[in-house]
Every structure is written in C-alpha cells, then in structure tokens.
C-alpha cells in the first residue's frame, strides 16, 4: 500500500512524500524540504512510523523541495538514501546546492527551505539508470529522466511511477504543468524522458506535486504539449526584446488563464503557484533558449 503524505508547504496539496509499505517495513519516497520536517514526522506518526523505522529513503533529485529533509531522517535513524549518481555528492556536501539556491531565494531561504545538513557518505547510495533496489519483495527501478534536472530519477514500483518533477505538477486532477526552474531545463531531454516513461506501461503516476493519477498516458501527453507551447511563448517574448521582469506577469497570466479555463478555483490556483511559481519558470526558460538554442533566441 502507498500513502500520500501531505507536507502542507504553505498550503495543502503542494508537496507530497509517499510512504510505501513493503514486506521488510516502511519506505519513503521524497522527503520534502527541511522546513516541513515537523509535518513529515507528524504524517509518518499518523501511520505509526518513526524515522528510525524506515528501511530506505528514495529521492527523485536533490532540489530542496524533494530531498531537503533527507539529512534529518538519517540523523534520526533512517539507514540509507537512494539517489541519482550526479545528486549523491550534494547530499553529502550540500554547500554548493545551498549557495546556488540562495542566489534565487535570497533572504527567504531559511523560511522556505529550512536548514541544510550533510548526509554521511556511508548512508548515501548512488543508483545507476536501470538498476533495481530490493526492499523485501518490493523492487524499485531507477529510470534516468533528465530534462527538469540532469540528476533526476523516476522511481518505478510495479505499475507505479514516482515521477518527481519530470512528470510535471498536477493538483486536484487539474492540468499538468511543467516546472521550469533554472539552471538545467532541457526540453529535448525532457521529451525523451517522457517517452521512456510512456514505454513503461505504468498504471499510475505520482508526481511529488501532487497526488496519484491513473490516466498515465493522458497525463504525459498533457505535460508534453504544455511544455513546448509555454516555452515557445517565452521565446516569442525573448525575441521581442522583453526582459525577465516584463515576462513574468505575462507568464503568470498565461498560467492562470489555462488553469481557470480548466475550471479550477482560486484556492487551487494558489496551490499551483506555490508548487510551481511562475517567477521561477521564466528565468529557467530564458536560460534554456539562450544556452541550448542561441540562434532561435537571437531571432535567426
């Protein structure tokens, strides 16, 4: 059985961790940020689980809303954290990750994400693409899925995909929207990752933001369509000569219009904005166009 733990980051339904019952004991997929660690412990306790009871922790990637509390879980007894090989060094020494995020969030860092801390090297396991991790009779398959980040795994358990951020953001059964934070957005790699997920024949997808959805094919198709449409809109503004500050309100309007047209209420719109803030997607897409397709960004 899989339980969705709502970490209530700012509002409900913005960040999930997933508690998986296995024959060997409980396993956690995603940790949320350190700032929501008290809520994570509370949610685990609601299922009779302490951090020391966990048999393993899996994280999709090392962004702070996905793995920020990993060190706290290990500090309180979780035995091992499984992670993409490119992410493993940043769990052991989070200083570069913290410095990079501080350039984006500034003085809000601690309020949003809490405190950084290292995971001892002996408690971190780097897992290669295609490798399976057995926990009792459960087998977690690592699927290398770059595009949102170059150090991203989707974890697959039977017919369930824990998609991290490569599977987009979806709240309350609404549209699937792409999170585009800098600095590693790469749409062609992201599309290839979605194609890999399609090929798994999964029956359920569980994005970290937020919940469980059985319509896997439609979910991935919706995400791919919106990824490229929204990226092209930003490219158009870039070629018009707009700077990022001018683009952000336009992008916010684009997102809100699509969500409202899908029938979502203002409360759900606010949840989407916390889970996937428009002000962070614009610089991610601008960097993508300038770095990956400079000729298009320049209007050639």
Tell me the mean pLDDT in the region 33-38: 97
**How would residue 162 be classed by pLDDT, with cut points 50, 70 and 90?**
very high
Work out the percent of the chain whose per-residue pLDDT is above 70.
Answer: 100
The tally of domains found in the chain comes to 2
Tell me the mean pLDDT in the region 184-200: 97
44-87, pLDDT tens digit by residue?
A: 999 999 999 999 999 999 999 999 999 999 999 999 999 999 99
pLDDT of residue 106: 81
pLDDT of residue 101: 83
Tell me the mean pLDDT in the region 163-176: 96
Residue 108 pLDDT > 90: no
Q: Are strands 138-144 and 56-58 parallel, antiparallel or unpaired?
A: unpaired
* Shared domain check, 114 and 94: yes
Tell me the mean pLDDT in the region 151-177: 97
* Shared domain check, 177 and 267: no
Residue 300 pLDDT > 60: no
* Shared domain check, 286 and 271: yes
The label of the residue with tokens 């029938």 reads 263
> What span, in angstroms and rounded, lies between the C-alpha atoms of 227 and 290?
17
> What span, in angstroms and rounded, lies between the C-alpha atoms of 187 and 231?
9
Tell me the mean pLDDT in the region 115-130: 96
* Shared domain check, 51 and 165: yes
pLDDT of residue 97: 86
* Shared domain check, 230 and 191: no
> What span, in angstroms and rounded, lies between the C-alpha atoms of 31 and 60?
10
Q: Name the β-bridge partners of 136.
A: none
């Amino acid at each position: 059985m899989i339980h969705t733990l709502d970490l209530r980051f700012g509002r409900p339904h913005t960040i999930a961790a997933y508690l998986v019952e296995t024959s060997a004991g409980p396993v956690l997929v995603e940790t949320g940020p350190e700032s929501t660690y008290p809520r994570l412990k509370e949610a685990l306790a609601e299922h009779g689980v302490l951090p020391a009871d966990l048999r393993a922790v899996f994280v999709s990637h090392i962004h702070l809303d996905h793995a920020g509390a990993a060190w706290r879980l290990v500090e309180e007894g979780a035995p091992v954290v499984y992670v993409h090989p490119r992410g493993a060094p940043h769990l052991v020494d989070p200083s570069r990750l913290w410095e990079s995020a501080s350039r984006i969030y500034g003085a809000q860092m601690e309020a949003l994400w809490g405190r950084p801390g290292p995971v001892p090297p002996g408690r971190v396991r780097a897992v290669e693409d295609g490798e399976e991790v057995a926990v009792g009779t459960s087998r977690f398959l690592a699927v290398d899925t770059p595009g949102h980040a170059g150090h991203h795994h989707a974890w697959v358990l039977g017919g369930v995909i824990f998609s991290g951020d490569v599977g987009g953001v979806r709240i309350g059964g609404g549209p699937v929207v792409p999170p585009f934070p800098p600095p590693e957005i790469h749409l062609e790699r992201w599309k290839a990752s979605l194609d890999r997920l399609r090929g798994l024949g999964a029956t359920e997808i569980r994005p970290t933001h937020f919940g469980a959805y059985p319509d896997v094919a439609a979910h991935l198709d919706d995400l791919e369509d919106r990824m490229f449409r929204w990226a092209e809109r930003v490219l158009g503004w870039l070629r018009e000569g707009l700077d990022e500050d001018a683009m952000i309100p336009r992008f916010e309007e684009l997102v809100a219009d699509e969500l409202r047209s899908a029938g979502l209420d203002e409360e759900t719109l606010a949840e989407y904005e916390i889970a996937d803030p428009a002000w962070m997607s614009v610089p991610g897409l601008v960097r993508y166009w300038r770095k990956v397709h400079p000729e298009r960004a320049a209007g050639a």
